[in-house]
A and B are shown apart, each in its own frame.
Chain A
């Protein structure tokens, strides 16, 4: 499986094409993090877009708002990510026409899973974290693989810096195992501001060691008052 997703330089070196085989995929890097609290959700992603050892742009938003209470952060292959975002927007538009309301975050989570699995044999090379508020107004985070396996959790990280960030989140926020019965609350005990600060720290750390994470972080906070956006500069090296 991992072989199928092997990243490759999209653009062959000028005028040296001997033996070069074309790939429909590229890995444009980037890291996404989301943390759910009792009555809020924080979703963040860095703004660097890379190919191989080159930076394409330092200010590309990986966060896409689908509904008023549901936001998607995605890294991986930018062209697939953009296509996926447009697909979900179109499906949400149809949903609104049919039901005269916005889709709930848990429903959007299922739709995203189905959309990814629909392309199981030519996948979207996209690594998603979906965050927002559920029908009770509680924070929710859904985390995915490229072909649509998903899980609701209290916090998650995806993308090139996930291996650096996820253990820190586990250490700081470790939640009850999903196997424990009766099921426990998955959202984290942090306050909103503590969650934002933790996310800033994890990105500053990931930017030190992951060359695909840097330039800036975009942080989106969803709570009962609405949606708010913050940014923080990161190292540009």
Chain B
């Protein structure tokens, strides 16, 4: 057999047989550049002090959380206690009957009165006392659609107020009369948890809301039926935040935003009770 491969010969002719199994290394891409030793630091979990992304926790006394844990939790449990109450089962998808063979593989019908299945409402016990899980801030500015530099000011305003870096939000659809174009930056959002959340909450209830003259309280109609309550602040109200108030000449244009209190409460009534205990008024 000719051992020297020539252009005139083919490889299959040189071999005794050939594999019918496709070679695996062609199918599974491995990014070897991500395995290089320089990236080893990034594998350290972020709560380890050796990690690059380490952020110290418990650096100050969290009085809102302490107040909730020591005082409000048992109060709320007592207020929301209902004797001999049972789980209220939310409306679920309705499967078809089995009387006809045509109904055999049909998709289940939508729940009555809703588009998607609803969660059950369990009675409040010591295990599921409602608590504030996060505060979500959403700022949409029309001005940013016309002048793109405006979005820098919106993000800086939110970053100053909340001590967290906001994310940009983008338009999702095209609406010509509003100058809305898909993919255009139009504001920012941020999700506050733990210490940032309680700090923002206490600033809001103690320094900002009491000084807004027109503020009559959060509307009782607000809520998404799942225990999340939203209200908005006008551009005029923003100047009461101490971070803005003392440097008003640095912020020539202020922007209003929406604040959503996300709670673990199952109904809006429970969420309202929780927020009223934390010092937020309702009308």
Tell me if chain B binds chain A: no
